[in-house]
Amino acid sequence: MPIDARSEVPDLSTRAAEHADQALRIFDHLAGNTEGEEQFEAAWRCGRSLALLGRYDDALDAFAFAHHTLRAMHPSDTPPHLKPLADGLSEDRKRVAYLRDVTRYGLEYLLYRRAQEHRLAGRYEQAAAGYRQVIDTAQDTMTRLLIEKLSTEFTTPEASKKLPGAGVDESPYTAASRLYEALCLIELGQAREAVQRLEAFADEDPATTPEVTPRPDGEAERIAAEQTTLPGDRPIPAPPLLFRGQALLELGRLALEHELDLDRADEYFARLDHWIVKARADNADWE
CATH class of 5-105: mainly alpha
Please compute the mean of the pLDDT values over residues 46-67 and round it to a whole number.
Answer: 87
- pLDDT at position 119 is 94
pLDDT value at 52 more than 90: no
Query: If you average pLDDT over every residue of the chain, what do you get?
Result: 73
Percent share of the chain, pLDDT over 90: 17
Report the distance separating Cα 207 and Cα 211, nearest Å: 9
- Cβ proximity of 238 and 185 under 8 Å: no
Please compute the mean of the pLDDT values over residues 35-42 and round it to a whole number.
Answer: 86
Please compute the mean of the pLDDT values over residues 205-209 and round it to a whole number.
Answer: 56
What stretch(es) of the chain map to CATH 1.25.40? 5-105
pLDDT value at 263 more than 90: no
145 pLDDT tier (thresholds 50, 70, 90): low
148 pLDDT tier (thresholds 50, 70, 90): low
Among candidate residues 135, 133, 137, 96, the one with its CA nearest the CA of residue 114: 133
Report the distance separating Cα 158 and Cα 145, nearest Å: 19
Residue type for position 118: H
